[in-house]
Every structure is written in C-alpha cells, then in structure tokens.
Chain A
Amino acid sequence: MNLDPVSLEVIRNALTAIAEEMSMVVMRAARSPLLREAGDHSSALTDATGHLVAQGQDVPVHLGVMSFTVREFLKRIPAESLQPGDVWIVNLPEVGGNHLPDVKLIRPIFADGMLYAFSVSLAHWADVGGAMPGSYFAGARDAWQEGLRIPPTRLVVANQMDVEKLGLILANVRGPEERRGDILAQIAATTVAARRLNDLTVKHGVAWMRLAFDAIHDRAERQMREAIRAIPNGVYTGEDWMDDDGHGGAPVPIRVTITIENETATFDFSNSADAVPGPINTTPFIAGAAAFYAMKALYGPDIQPSGGCYRPLTVVTRPGSIADAGNTRPVVGGNHETCQRFADAIFHALVPIAAEKLSAGGPTTAGLLIFGTRTPNGDWSTFYEVHSGGEGARIDRDGVAATRVHLANVMNTPAEVIEAEYPITVEFQRLREGSGGAGKHTGGEGVARGYRMRADDVSLTTMFERAVVPPYGLEGGAPGALFRATLKRATGTEEALRGKQNIQIGKMDLVVVESCGGGGYGRAPTGA
C-alpha cells in the first residue's frame, strides 16, 4: 500500500518539524562556541533500521554521516539489546562517523515495546581531548593522538545519567563543564524528539508510521533517480589534489570515476591515494556525503535527504586508501578538507557535460585556525575559527567575495565576540584585493584577517588547504590566489605557516590569514 501524496507531505512536514526542534534545542542550549555562533551540528530521525527519515537545518557534510551512523551502530549493538529510556553516545569515525570531535547522541524510540525509530543529535565539540587543545593535532600519526575514542556506550540508562561513564568522558576532555553542557543539550534534543514522535505515533499507530517512513524513502529514491536520469550515460573521471598531509609530503591525489547508467550512479574513489600518515584521511561515509551533495546541488536541489536517496547511488572506496583509511589512521582534517576535495573531483569529472552548471574552484577548505588560550584559572579556552574565501566564478556571473561553499557553511566569529572572550585583538578584517582568478567572469576575493595575541602561552593549530594547489579556473579562467597564513613574531621575525601545523605563540605575536580567492570562469578578454 502506498501513502497518498497529501498524507506524505503532511507527515514529512511533521517529522521535519521534530528534527528542526532538536536543532533549536542544541543551538540554544549547547556550550561549544562552534554550536552556538557557528551552527556546527545536525539532528536527524531514522527508522528502526537506521535509515534517515528527516533532518533539521544542517551542515551538508553531516548528511553522509547521519545517513550511516545508526546503521553502523546497529551492526555493533544488536537491536534486541536496546531499551526505552536509554541514550547512547559514540564518536568513533568507523561507526558511521567522520572525526572524533563530532559526537553523536542516539536514542532508540519505542511504541508498544517495539523499536520503530531513532533520534540522533550530532554536535562538534570544541574539544574531545588528545594532544592539542581543540583536538586538532596536525602532527598526528595515529588515531589515538586525536582524542578520546568513544565506542557505542549507553550513557543514559532508563532515563538516568550514568554518572560514572559521564565522569570518564569529562575527565578526558578539556573544558569539562562546557562539554557537560553540550551533552545535556544533545540528550535534551533526543528526548524532545522521542516525545514528539510518540505524539504522532499515538495518533496514527506504529504500523502507519512505518508505512510513512517507507513512503519517504521511496520518494527520495524516485527523486534521486529522476536527478540521475538528467545526466547522460557514460563514464566520467575527475581528479583534484590535496596540498599535503602535514608531514612534508607532496600533494595527494583524489580521484573519482563516475559511472552513470540510466537511473543509477556509481562514484568510485578507489584510484585516490593510499592512506597517508597525517590527519587528512577519512571514512567512506564522508565520500558518500560528497557524492550526495554534488548530486543534489547539480541535479536535484529538492531531493529530500533520506535513506532512499542512497538506493540508486553506489559509493566505492578502496580499503587502505585515503577515503577508507581504517581505524588506526588520524582523520581529523578529512572531515572538512578531504571531504571538499571529493566534491571538487566530482565537479572536475562533470566538466565535459555540465560546465554551465558548475562554479570554478572556491574556498574548499575550512581555513581553520584554533587558538588554545589559558583562562585566568589555568583552564584551556579554545577559539576555533573558520575563514570564508572567494567563490568561484560561474558562466553568468563573477564569484562573490568571502563566502563558504559546498559542504561547509559555518559562520565566522565577530571581532567583538573574539576580543571579549579571548586574549586576542582582531587588528583588521578586509577583503583580499585582487585574489580572485581572472576570466570572462572573475573569481570572488578572499579575506585577510589579523589576530594579535594579548597573552603568552597560546597554542595555535592550523588546518587549511589550497595553499599549494590553488582553486581552479574553469573554461580557461585563471585559478584564484593561494591560501596563506603568516606568523609575525613580536621579535620582528616572520614565517609562513604550513597548512597543518601546531605551534606555540606568545604575547604581541600577529597571525595574518589571507584566504584563497575563487577561480575565474572563461577566458579573460584580451588586449583591452
């Protein structure tokens, strides 16, 4: 039996409203600055088998993760062992995850003693332990240096917090009070979802809800098939490059082979580089997120993120490669750096058939700086900042300056907030003139921002890309300017910072970030 088009839209609205409410709870109540100022979190509902049925306002990269988290969780924790009133916590990348700071709280939801859904809250914690404040260790060579690894763990049992497990977690992260706030907010979000979902289930019955979940999957599958049908059959290959893995290596290739066959698409990343020693490895789930993002952005902006939309998509990764690096490799930067390069590679592959739909290369890097500063009582206070850059130009317009693109959309932090909360003065924030690539249409400009330290003993971490391999031009357009970060010591010396680096800096030192410009589109008019 099928759900009629009206009931389908009505229930979809109701489920999305629940996921949105979860996100609102997390954003308003959580404590990590990333969650509050920047919105680096996602909420989802899944069916009993872990397939996504609704998602709140989101960060696209989390889509891939949320689509797999509960499914992978269920491979390790049998459904029979789940109980009402329990909430599980997990951050292992291999359990449908991405990197350790993205911590998921999962609540199984029951009706009449039967499991029929899960609510999931994912949030990027400002710190999850490990070698460096902020849990980005550029020099990492294994997974354990990156922080506390939490396998699926029952943190709330019969609606009671297991304070011993909570204590174990908090003892291993910086800023335990803040982290406790994050956990409570995430649990509150899953609780609210369970309550709202039960209201719906009381009204409609579990059997009907299951039917509705299936109808949502079927619809998403139809949408994805329609999107794929718009692409000519064929095999398309694309390649882009990561700058380096932080251990002094050469640029690292990311390659994709896309096979379109009627209503199915395969994204095969097997020809990408082998896993690297440094922290830009990643999981197959991130490759899935990139493939999904590219399909949605190019061919079906209305596709609903749901389990069904993955049915016609096959994502292949080679175990032992950078996209499927296994459990022992460091991965923290893969989440937002390698992830964006997967999307870039897909765009390159589609140039022959879709150049008019594509943007030239943009700031496909978080441009991340983490300043670990000490509070007066000696605790760490970590300031995590992303930097927007110049959007790539398009067939019909110039790129826009200072924006986030593709799988990322985290906001910047106002200078007035930074200066009030951390011992840092923002000396300037301006557009980086001339950084956009030339072309018939010019790439957008990056930004330049200067951070002056007002205290000693600051631990600085960088995690950026496009400092070696620039954002590409399209159809003859020139590439955008490279990403650049410079440390000007109070002593007068000046050094270029690498894209993956941990370094101690001190009072009056100035860190200047110049984010990359966007690539140009089309050949620039000559001889003006």
Chain B
Amino acid sequence: MTDWRLGIDIGGTFTDVIAVSTAGAMRRSAKVPSQPQQPVRAIVDAIAAVDLTWDRVAEIVHGTTIVTNDIVEHRYRPCALIATAGFSDTIEIGRGSRRHLYRMDLLPRPPALVPRHLRFEVAERVAHDGSVMTELTDAEIARVVDAVAASGADTVAVCLLHSFRNAEHEARLGAALRTRIANVSLSHEVSPEFREFERMNTTVLNAMMMAKIKNHLGLIDAEKPDDSRLHLMHSASGMAAPALIAERPLMLAMSGPAAGVAAGCKTARDMGTRHAVTFDMGGTTTDICLIVDQKAEIAVNRDLGGQRIRMPMVAVDSIGAGGGSIARLVSGALVVGPESAGARPGPACYGTGGTEATVSDADMILGYLNPERTLGGSVTLSMELAEAAIRSLAESMGFTIPNAAAGIARVVHANMARALRRASIERGVDIRQFEMIAFGGAGPMHAVEVARLCGIARITVPAFSSGFSALGCVDATMSYSRQFSVGMKSTAWRDEYLARLVAAQTDALTAALVEAGHAANSLLVDCVAGIRYSGQSYETSIADPVLADRDALGAQFDAAHTALYGYSTGEAWELASLRIEVSAPKGETESATPDAIESSIAPIAQRHVTFESGAGAMVDVLDRARLPVGHVFSGPLIVEDSWSTTVLPPQDRLRADASGNLHIEVTL
C-alpha cells in the first residue's frame, strides 16, 4: 500500500529523510551518509532508514546539491553557443568589470563558460521593440545547425538579442536544433529578461547541467515503481516535475537551501509568525533568508561559484562564516573568516589535523559544544586541541583563553548581524520586526546573540532543526514561477496588451500544474511587479500589483518607493518586469506530535559555560526530547539533542511547545 510521503534532502555529507504517513498521523526521520558518486544510493538508503520499502512510497520530494556543487566546483560539460551575428564573444566580455579590486594576481573573472571554437553566430536581428530587422532564413538555420552538429557538441545554448521581446527566431532555431542535438537550451525559455550577458550565461549554465540531470532522473526512474511519484525541490522553494527539471536543471541551483527556507515558511505559518528570517549556520557558511508575510523572499540575480545566474531563487545570502571559519589577529584586529578549515583539516578540536583557531574551537572552550558528543559517531572532540589552537591568539591579545574564545564569538556575531542588516536593507524591511528561525548544526548555538545585535526579540528553534531541509521537502507543494521583462511606460500604457501578456504567462504555468494532476480552479496565482522611474535600473518590488488600474498601480509604486528611500517624485514610471507564480494550495497537514517521552526538567549534566560577556558559570544541560511542554526556563541553559545544541544566555528565556519547537525570548 503506497501510503507514505518522503522528503529527502541529499546534502554534501548527510542525507536527511523525513517520512509522513499520508494520513498525517505518523512521522519518521533519519540521517544517512550521502554517496557523492551515487546520489541515487542515498535515496534507497534513506527509504530503508525509515523502515519503509518502495511499495509503501506514494511520493518522494527530493532536494539535491548536484547542480549547486557542479557550479561551485566548476564541473562544466562542454557546450556550444549560438548568438546573434556579432555577439558570440559576449559570453567572454561579460560586463567588463573585475571581481577583486586590489588583487592583480587573481583572474579578474572566471574563464568564459564557452571556449571560442564552440561559439557560433547566426545572421538575424530583432530590434528592442520586437520588430525584425534581419529575417532569420531557413537556409541560415540549416547552415548553423550543421555547423554545431559538425563540432561534435551534444549540448547547445541559444541566446539571440531581444529574444525575450520576440522569441520567434530563437524558437525556430531551437526546433531545428532539437532534431539533431540532445540538449538544447533557449534563452527566452530559461530567462526571458533583458540584459544579454546575464541571459546568455544563465542559458549556457542550464544547458551544461542537462545531461547529468537527465541521467540522474533516469536512474531514479529505473529504481522506483511507476506508482511512486517523484518531485524535485527547485530554487524558488516549490516542487517541480521531473519532466520540467530535465529541461531546466538550473532550477535546482539552490535546491538545498530552498528546502530549508520552505521549512522555515512552514514554521512561520504554523507559529502564525508574519515575518521571519532563517538562520542556518553550518561548517563553512551561514545561510540567511527573509520570509515576508510568510513567503520566502525571491531574488532573480545571483552569483554562484563566480557565475551569474538569473532565475527566480530563494533570496538566500551566504555569509562566509561557520563553525570552520578561522580566527586570526590581523594588524591588531581579531578577524574571523572568510578562510575556513572546512572538513579537512577541519577545526582543531576535531583532531583531524587542523591547528588554526576556528569558531568551533571557540564553541568548545565556551562550553557550547558537548565534549562527549560525537556527531553521529564521526568525530571525537578534543578540548586540549581546541585550547592549543586558541592559546597563541589569546596570548597575543593579552586575553585569557576563554576571553579570546568569547571574542571570536563576538566577532562572528557582529559579522552575521551586518549580513542580516544588509539583507533586510536590500529588501527594504526593518529586521527588528522579524523573528528568527535558527537551524543547522551551529545555528541554535549562536542565534541568540546575533538576534540581540539585530534587535530581534523572538527565536524559534524548530523541531527536526538538524534535518530541517528534509522537512521543507516533505511539506512542499508544486509551484512554478516565471520572471519576464515587460517594459511598459506609464505614459504609453496598454491595458489590453498587458492583460494578454499576463494571461498567456499564467496559462502556461497553470497548464504545467494541471498536467501534473492539479485542478485548475484550486491553484493560487501570485504576482510581483518590478517598477522603476524611467532612468532607474533597480526596480522596486510591488507585491499584489493592481495591474488592471494604472493609476492605482502608480500609487502602489509611489508608496513603496517612499517606504524604501524616503521619497517619491510622482513622475512617469515603467513597469519593467513581472514575476508570476502559480502554486498548488498547501495541504493543512497537522504537525505530528512526536512520540511521548516522559518529560523532565532535571538536567542530564552540568558544564562550565562562558557567555559573550566573558562571564562564566556552571550551567544545566537539558535533554531536548524531555523538555516539558510550556514550562518557561530562564537562562543560562544548554539544551541538547543528538545533532544540535541550543545555547541560552543568562538573561533570556526558553520554552518548548507540543510539536517539539523551542521558543526563545531574547532580552534586548
């Protein structure tokens, strides 16, 4: 009987799985090692780890770092590029700027994705208004398709100028290519927006990932029975059907973080929290994402592994600070990160060869990390090694070792607070009105002080906080979104044209969901408009724009602009872009109550803990699973489960709820 739904998040080291029975009454979770060489193996292991077999699996929603890792680690498959005559070098010219202002020794930019011998040009030209300046002839199509086929490339990206305005040339070329080339990616399908370099680079990256993802999906398909459905978590925090992912694998670029953010959204909904910020601190980075009105913020421009990607993705900012970040004294200031000890050699306290002081070593000395804890049996922590790593740093600052460790924590907290503020400013919101959702291995350890610095008064450490991304997968619903250029000025408004455009895009997205079995009338449609004064290039985002009424829309824009920048001028403006999302409704799955364990406020241990102020004390350690529901604890306190530690400083308060979430009230 197929009666279970599984969320499986395949991370770099571990694969997390959460299984929910279709009736919603039961929940199981597990963690198994990932198998980087055989990602499908991890899925099979995960199913076994929750005591299920394929025939019990109704649906798997799967998050993966396959695409992310290939981009970050620069594993690119060869890809040909076809561009409008005169523009194939755009892939190398880019925007002409360099990444590091003061590092002449480093490459100004990563090498171009497509080498010169795989760049092809086609005689055609569309103007900025979509009119055709030079027709694309059938003979020209035949010529360029032959040329690409003769190069031996099995993958090709097409990016013609202004194709987001008039896609006919690209579509005809694409149809001809698809008869000869296995993997074809067209820019108006992948990223239908202006700015040719960004569209081109995104399209090429998408093409490069196609073969690998098709193979991955094929392997899963071979493994699973036909009546178990498979979906993938895409970067904009919804799930997508395998058929679409096979054509748009770049939608997986932020699959892993998107799953965490999806779980954050669910937590916010369950708590009735309006605005929240996710705080996911891991070994090398900390990921943060704003959730506004219970919806994840979406960004459309992102640099990943030095490559510009333009697709709707959760607006996760990665801060180069995590447990492995290295602390150094640089000209009299204590600097932490961005260099990281990573997994190898790792923090000194892991005993795997690292000798430099890291954040985890500081956590060890401060008493945040349980010296007995083994992280699933993979490591034994050593206090001596942690102290040895921090000693010289402490001596050169004239600090005691605990004070030096507290100093490292303070600097890390300041770094993160700066990043949180920056993220909130970019999106024009006040971070003090947000709650924090802390997860990941080290998130609950450092959350309180970061929140305090930002003026955030409440923190939730959700149940399953260490396998949180899997929770996001299991809770995901299908959603497809599209961002596209409109370019309509308020002085040349065309109601009918706009209505047609919106209807066409919405229908296309809806059709994909209906095909997947959803009733058209049950679907939710969300719209975000990007509006700017003519002359501005950054658009102000308007949620739920009144597209049918130009003047009302203008008023929405003026209000939003004033809120962001403190002024509006009332002059002519332009509807630059729209993003439409069509999604299936969220099922009201009850948060399952964890199995009852006898509760207890008795500490399981005591240990010496030093807080940011430098003051230390013997502190009670409580077992998270046994916290009595509703009991309010006052800090100082440590709460542990097998995968994470929550640190509660002296002046703050904590309570557990019936679903296993921890709620912290931060004294500001």
Query: Which residues of A line the B interface, CB within 8 A?
Result: 4-6, 8-10, 12-14, 16-17, 20-21, 24-25, 27-33, 36-37, 58, 60, 177-178, 180-181, 184-185, 188, 191, 218-219, 222-223, 226, 293, 296-298, 301-302, 357-359, 386-388, 391, 394, 397, 400-405, 409-412, 414-417, 419-420, 425, 427-431, 447, 450
Contact of A6 among B90, B195, B410, B571 (CB under 8 A): B410
A219 and B331: CB pair below 8 A?
yes
Check A8 against B162 for contact (C-beta < 8 Å): no
Least CB distance from B379 to A in Å reads 28
A5–B397 CB distance below 8 A: yes
6 A-B pairs with CB atoms under 8 Å apart are A10-B414, A28-B536, A219-B331, A414-B197, A416-B162, A429-B90
Does B222 touch A at the CB level, under 8 Å? no
Given A21-B425, A416-B128, decide whether A9 and B96 contact each other with a Cβ distance below 8 A.
no
Set of chain A residues within 8 Å of B410, measured between Cβ atoms: 6, 10
Q: Please report which residues of chain B, range 328-368, place their CB below 8 angstroms from some CB of chain A when the two chains form the complex.
A: 329-336
Distance of A455 from chain B, by nearest CB (Å) = 14
The digit string for B408-438, where 1 denotes a CB below 8 A from any CB of A, is 0011001101100110011000000000000
Residue B605 lies at the interface, judged by CB distance under 8 Å to chain A:
no
Q: Report whether B89 and A60 are in contact in the complex, using a CB–CB cutoff of 8 Å.
A: no
In the assembled complex, which residues on chain B have CB atoms less than 8 Å from the CB atom of A184?
A: 565, 567, 569
The contact of A191 among B88, B336, B566, by CB within 8 Å, is: B566
Contact A430 B101 (CB under 8 A): no
Q: Which residues in A have their C-beta under 8 angstroms from that of B397?
A: 4-6
Task: Tell me which residues across on chain B come within 8 A of A359, comparing CB atoms.
Answer: 104
The reply to whether the CB of B94 lies closer than 8 angstroms to some CB of chain A is yes
Contacts A14-B414, A297-B102 known; A402 to B97 CB distance under 8 Å? no
What are the residues of chain B within 8 A of A403 when measuring CB–CB? 96-98, 108-109
Contacts A5-B334, A447-B93 hold; do A181 and B535 have CB atoms under 8 A apart? yes
Chain B residues with Cβ below 8 Å from A296 are 102
User: Is B14 among interface residues, defined by CB-CB distance under 8 A?
Assistant: no
Provide the residues of chain B in CB contact with A20, threshold 8 Å.
Answer: 422
Q: Is the CB of B89 within 8 A of A411?
A: no
The reply to whether B332 and A409 form a contact with Cβ atoms under 8 Å apart is no
Whole-angstrom distance between the Cβ of A304 and the nearest chain B Cβ: 9
Q: Knowing that A10-B410, A177-B571, A415-B196 touch, tell me 18 more A-B residue pairs with CB under 8 angstroms.
A: A5-B334, A8-B332, A24-B426, A27-B538, A36-B535, A177-B569, A181-B533, A219-B332, A222-B332, A296-B102, A388-B97, A397-B107, A400-B109, A404-B98, A416-B128, A425-B127, A427-B86, A430-B89
> Assuming the A-B contacts A6-B410, A417-B194, are A21 and B422 also in contact, with contact meaning beta carbons closer than 8 angstroms in the complex?
yes
Complex Cα distance A386/B93, Å? Answer: 13
Most buried by B among A6, A296, A403, A417: A6
- A183 CB, nearest partner CB in chain B, Å: 10
Chain B residues with CB below 8 A from A219, complex form: 331-333
Interface of A, secondary structure class, is helix
Contact A31 B86 (CB under 8 A): no
Please indicate the chain B residues that have their CB under 8 angstroms from the CB of A388 in the complex: 93, 96-97
Q: Verify A9–B97 contact, CB threshold 8 A.
A: no
A416 to B310, CA, bound (A): 16
**A9 CB contact (under 8 Å) in B85, B89, B335, B533:** B335
Contacts A5-B334, A36-B536 given; indicate if A400 touches B108 (C-beta within 8 A).
yes
A85 to B124, CA, bound (A): 57
Give the contacting residue for A29; candidates B96, B97, B128, B536; CB below 8 A.
B536
Partner of B565, one of A25, A397, A417, A419: A25
> In the complex, A415→B198 CA distance in Å?
12
Instruction: Point out the residues of chain A lying under 8 angstroms from B105, CB to CB.
Output: 357, 394
Cα separation A474 to B197 with both chains bound (whole Å): 33
Within 8 A of A (CB), among B315-336: 329-336
- Kindly list chain A residues whose C-beta atoms are within 8 Å of the C-beta of B37: none
Q: Residues of B contacting A428 with CB < 8 Å?
A: 85-87
* The residue from A6, A188, A409 contacting B407, defined by CB atoms under 8 A apart: A6
Q: Is the CB of A223 within 8 A of B331?
A: yes
Give the distance in Å from the alpha carbon of A450 to the alpha carbon of B85 in the complex.
13
Chain A residue at minimal CB-CB distance from B413: A10
Task: Rank and list the top 4 A-B pairs by shortest CB-CB distance, nearest first.
Answer: A428-B86, A388-B96, A6-B407, A36-B537
B24 within 8 A of A: no
Least distance between B117 CB and chain A CB atoms (Å): 13
Question: Is there an interface contact between B538 and A404, defined as CB atoms closer than 8 Å?
Answer: no
B residues at A contact (CB < 8 Å): 85-90, 92-98, 100-105, 107-109, 127-128, 161-162, 194-198, 329-336, 397, 399, 407, 410-411, 414-415, 417-418, 421-422, 425-426, 487, 533, 535-538, 561, 564-567, 569, 571
In the complex the two chains form, is A6's CB within 8 Å of B334's CB? Answer: yes
A400 vs B609: C-alpha distance when bound (angstroms)? 52
A429-B93 contact, Cβ under 8 Å, with A25-B565, A181-B533, A302-B330: yes
Tell me the nearest residue of chain A to B425, going by C-beta. Answer: A21
Distance to closest chain A CB from B368 (angstroms): 17
Which of A37, A397, A415, A431 is in CB contact (< 8 Å) with B537? Answer: A37
Measured CA separation A180–B331 after assembly (Å) = 43
Shortest CB-to-CB span from B572 to chain A, Å, is 9
Question: Closest CB-CB distance, B300 to chain A, in whole Å?
Answer: 15
Q: Is the CB of A420 within 8 A of B537?
A: no
Are A419's CB and B101's CB within 8 A? no
A400 and B414 contact, Cβ closer than 8 Å, known pairs A17-B422, A388-B96, A429-B87 = no
Chain B residues closer than 8 Å to A404, beta-carbon distance:
96-98, 108
Instruction: Give A412 to B418 CA distance when docked, in angstroms.
Output: 30
- In the complex, which of the residues B86, B107, B109, B197 contacts A430, with contact meaning CB atoms closer than 8 Å? B86
Instruction: Note all chain A residues with C-beta closer than 8 A to B85.
Output: 428
Q: A6-B407, A29-B536, A416-B162 are known contacts. Are A181 and B569 too (CB-CB below 8 A)?
A: yes
Query: What chain B residues lie within 8 Å of A16 (beta carbons)?
Result: 418
**A402 near B104 (CB under 8 angstroms)?**
no
Do A33 and B535 have beta carbons less than 8 Å apart? yes
Contact A60 B422 (CB under 8 A): no
Most buried by A among B98, B101, B162, B567: B101
Chain B residues near A188 (CB, 8 Å)?
Answer: 565-567
B334: chain A residues at CB < 8 Å are: 5-6, 8-9
B644 vs chain A, min Cβ distance (A): 26
| Complex Cα–Cα for A400 and B426 (A) | 32
Nearest CB of chain A from residue B9's CB, rounded to whole Å: 32
Chain A nearest CB from B399 CB (Å) reads 8
Tell me whether A6 and B196 are in contact in the complex, defined as CB-CB below 8 angstroms, given that A31-B533, A403-B108, A429-B86 are known contacts. Answer: no
Determine the distance from Cα of A60 to Cα of B102 in the docked complex, in whole angstroms: 9
Shortest Cβ distance from B309 into chain A, in angstroms? 16
Contact of A17 with B89 in the complex, beta carbons under 8 Å = no
Q: How far is the CA of A405 from the CA of B90 in the complex (A)?
A: 19
- Could you say which residues of chain B place their CB within 8 Å of the CB of A29? 536, 538, 561, 564-565
Q: Is A415 within 8 A of B566, CB to CB?
A: no
> Considering the chains assembled together, what is the distance between the CA atoms of A387 and B566 in angstroms?
35
> Is A420 touching B487 in the complex (CB atoms < 8 A)?
yes
Q: Give the shortest distance, in Å, between B604 (CB) and chain A (any CB).
A: 33
* Known interface pairs A9-B411, A416-B162; A180-B564 also in contact (CB < 8 Å): no
Q: How far is the CA of A404 from the CA of B95 in the complex (A)?
A: 10
Contact (Cβ within 8 A) B567 A394: no
Contacts of A13 in B (CB 8 A): 411, 414-415, 417-418
Q: State in angstroms the CA–CA spacing of A67 and B105 once bound together.
A: 26
* B97 close to A416 (CB less than 8 A): no
Choice from B107, B194, B329, B537 contacting A400 with Cβ under 8 Å:
B107
Q: How far is the CB of B45 from chain A (nearest CB, A)?
A: 43
CB neighbours (8 Å) of A429 from chain B are 86-87, 89-90, 93
Evaluate contact between B87 and A415: CB separation under 8 angstroms.
yes
Residue of A whose beta carbon sits closest to that of B336: A9
CA distance A177 to B572 in the complex (A): 11
Cβ 8 A contact of A410, one of B97, B107, B333, B564: B97
Return chain B residues, CB-CB under 8 Å to A409. 97-98, 101
Q: How far is the CB of B551 from chain A (nearest CB, A)?
A: 20
B420 → A minimal CB distance (Å): 10
- How many Å lie between the Cα of A220 and that of B102 in the bound state? 16
